[in-house]
Structure 1
């Protein structure tokens, strides 16, 4: 039970410290580098992805080695050996296609 309380205490303390720095930057004429560093550091921490999961459990995660196989020209797993080709170019007298 001590760990959640300690985590909340640290989170509240850091939050109060960050708000102090931001308000001091906005309202005090003698705010300096310390307040700026605390405010910028707290804002930078807010950009970190905190809801991370391992790649295997993530929704829409790409399989390991997928890009390597694509660069080698490997075909899809569903149809081994299948080769894809681009659609042929139209001739100049073929008319225009849908746009």
Structure 2
């Protein structure tokens, strides 16, 4: 049991170190683009790639657990109910 816990800690520790290293690399590229005149396409690609990763939907929920989700095959009924006039 202790080996399994230690293994998980090692993996999450590596993930943290990797995240910090990639974050530092991104900041280096952004600062280099802002400060120096000789920054090139490498710095631009790193900065744009890091910014693009921030747009990923990382807070996803499984469809079965999502609030207000329509069951599979029920879209037609849901659209009809939505189009029906209220009142």
Which TM-score band applies after superposition, normalised by the shorter structure? 0.7 to 0.9
More helix by percentage = 2
- Between Structure 1 and Structure 2, whose CA radius of gyration is higher? 1
1:61 to 46, 58, 69: 69
Partner of 1:34: 42
Distance 1:16 1:43 in 2: 13
What's the offset of the Cα at 1:48?
0.2
Q: CA RMSD in A?
A: 2.2
Name which structure has the greater RCO, CA cutoff 8 Å, separation 6+: 2
Normalization by structure 2: what TM-score?
0.76
1:15 to 18, 23, 42: 23
Normalization by structure 1: what TM-score?
0.67
The count of residues paired between Structure 1 and Structure 2 equals 77
Structure 1 stretches lacking a partner, 5+ long? 76-83, 86-99
Residue 7 to residue 15, structure 1, CA distance change in 2 (3 Å) = same
Structure 2 stretches lacking a partner, 5+ long? 1-8
